[in-house]
Homo-oligomer: A and B are copies of this chain.
Amino acid sequence: MSDRPPTPSRLEHWDRRMEVPLALASFAFLGAYAVHVLARDLQEVWHDVCLSVTLGSWAFFVVDYLVRLRLSGLAPHRFLRAHPLDALVVLLPLLRPLRMVNLYGRVQRRHGPKLSLYGRVMVYSGLSVSLLGFAGSLTVYHHEVDAPGATIVTFGDSVWWTCATLATVGYGDVSPVTPVGRVTAVGLMACGLALLGAVTGSFSSWLIQAFTREDEKRPPGDSPGA
């Protein structure tokens, strides 16, 4: 949100080189955590492997953050201010998959035909919400599944609960009962609703734009109707 442009060249060089490794680490992190949470009757040793992968990716991201901080030449608190999402992702590793969205943006920018402004906002926010929702479902399921009196007892319940929460429908047929589950839920609401608001807002704007353009096309003149 600060307007100061980040210092370029060496930092940009690093960013470009780390793009693919970081994306792979993100996949590894989310995948390993998912296996750890969902495959409950796996052998002990595999759970240890998953945990190692998870923690390894985490360490990798911390190192990346520190290198980028160093290369930027900014004081830590200024760097934090300029890249708030990155810091958040280091603290809350489950938000890390949001980095994958960046990667998607870069891939799409190079290869595909360019989407409209609203289209990109929708795709970006939609992808972020999906990843957030998946990570949130995992966390909530992880903490709820063995809690006494829990209503979220399968991963399907957890995904259903996540969808109903993100849509702000909130049936209440299933809902978290543990403190950790509820804190995760609140975080999910806070992030998810803002992002989904961006999706629906962009969709509205895009729809209105499409109708305006149609107006302008048919009669050759001006007056886009009102």
Tell me the A residues contacting B by CB distance below 8 Å. 1-4, 81, 113-121, 124-125, 156, 160, 163-165, 167-173, 175, 177, 179, 182, 185-186, 189-190, 193-194, 196-209, 211-212, 215, 224-226
Contact = CB atoms under 8 A, between A and B. Distances in A.
A56 B200 CA distance: 35
Contact of A200 (B163, B185, B194, B206): B194
5 contacts: A160-B186, A167-B193, A197-B204, A198-B208, A202-B208
A185 B173 CA distance: 14
Would you call the interface of chain A mostly helix, strand, loop, or mixed? helix
A1 to B, nearest CB: 4
A169 B193 CA distance: 10
Nearest to A119: B1
Contacts of A156: 179, 182
A190 B4 CA distance: 36
A121 B189 CA distance: 19
B208 A121 contact: yes
